[in-house]
Amino acid sequence: MQYKQIGILGGNGVIGYALTEALSELNDIQIKVGTRTDYFKKLNLAHVKYEKLYLDNSEKLKNFMSGCEIIVNCTGYFDQKIIKSCIECHAHYLDTSGICGLEQEVQQLDDNLKKQRLSVIQFVGVNPGLTEVLIAYCKKLYTVDKLEMFFSGTGNLSKSAILEIIKTSKPPYSYSQMYLKNGTKTKLDYMIKTLNLQPFMKAFYCIPLISCHFINCVQQLQVPKAYFFNVFRDQIIISQMAEAKFLYQNNETNKAIERLATAFKNYGNSRSTYTLIKVIINNNTELTFQSTIDWNALTVIILYSTVSLILQSRIKSHGIKPLYEAINVKELISELKKNATVTIEKNPRGEYIE
């Protein structure tokens, strides 16, 4: 029997372990798991092999990748050397992190991938990742003149993830109090607004913030007016995020990380676990993506679904691509719908009451 091999980097982390567990249930699959430590819970399965591995050792990395059809990087560590090793080993590459606009920086690398019909898909996660997929999905379904996206959810974050959030909360990575009008960043006259997004619930606090991923997607898909809001159910976490940003700007990085980690933990502990992405189109139609799991667990489902489509040779475009360009968004949404924790609904825009 011919087995397909998948390599997972960072298999001892929360996302890497859960992804390994999910993929281990697929038929005709062998999994290699690379980790920096031996001290963690392992799956005692014949088709799952573990290997101690450091990503800065190119030769050992290539030995690990040899025979793999797909490499999934769940470490949060990104290096172009990993992509180059994938090309040499003829493996597709998925990463939960990455560099915004990488394809423009490394044109030769992108060309080599296209020649070998290989894909590098960065930021395979919830936000960014799924958020842009839903924009492209809406464009497939409707004529979109105006799009408003609202993102909310719970989930614990590692210290490195929190530091990344703080670092990328300013230009050129993201722009607060802005929206896109005909592809151009345009100033809003408010910093926060309240809006009823779900029936029989209090209004959410919505903060406008457009990221480089959102900007690139909207410009690529030519949406005339586009807004993105980070959404919270109370104002406490908003003030704590502002405090963390202030601490970071005053070179108190560790305190900033601790403050934000505590804020997200308390926010999650005070309510049921959830992820919500609502898209309002042309003020009259809404698409609602909901899940009863947090964004870490949802990232695992998105990775799993993407891997499944690649194993079926369902790649839309090769080279260095965001998720919404690399994979057919309708097929990806269909895969996500198979999970019992996910619901996606399309409805006329409602006027919700508390």
Confidence of residue 353 (pLDDT cuts 50, 70, 90): very low
**Can you give the length of the chain in residues?**
354
DSSP string, 199-222: TTSPPEEEEEEEEHHHHHHHHHHT
48-103 per-position pLDDT tens digit = 999 988 888 889 999 999 999 999 999 988 888 999 999 999 999 999 999 888 88
Window from 108-122, 218-232, 241-255, 314-328 with minimum mean pLDDT: 241-255
Q: Label residue 241 by pLDDT band (50, 70, 90).
A: confident
Residues 100, 212: contact at Cβ < 8 Å? yes
Q: Is 153 exposed, middle or buried (0-12, 13-18, 19+ CB in 10 A)?
A: buried
Q: How far is residue 254's CA from residue 199's CA, in Å, rounded to a whole number?
A: 39
Mean pLDDT for 286-300 is: 94
Mean of all residue pLDDT scores within the chain: 92
Question: Which band of pLDDT confidence, cut at 50, 70 and 90, is reported for residue 354?
Answer: very low
Distance between CA atoms of residues 123 and 132, nearest Å: 10
Please give the structure tokens belonging to residue 108.
Answer: 């030769």
d(CA 25, CA 234): 39
262-265: list long-range contacts, CB under 8 Å, 24+ apart: 263/236, 263/237, 264/154, 264/155, 264/156, 264/157, 264/162, 264/237, 265/156
Is residue 27 predicted with pLDDT exceeding 50? Answer: yes
Name the burial class of residue 200, with classes exposed (0-12), middle (13-18) and buried (19+) by CB atoms within 10 angstroms of its CB: exposed
pTM: 0.93
The stretch 147-166 carries a mean pLDDT of 86
* CA–CA distance, 158 with 261 (Å, rounded to integer): 8
Q: Taking residues 281-296, what's their average pLDDT?
A: 94
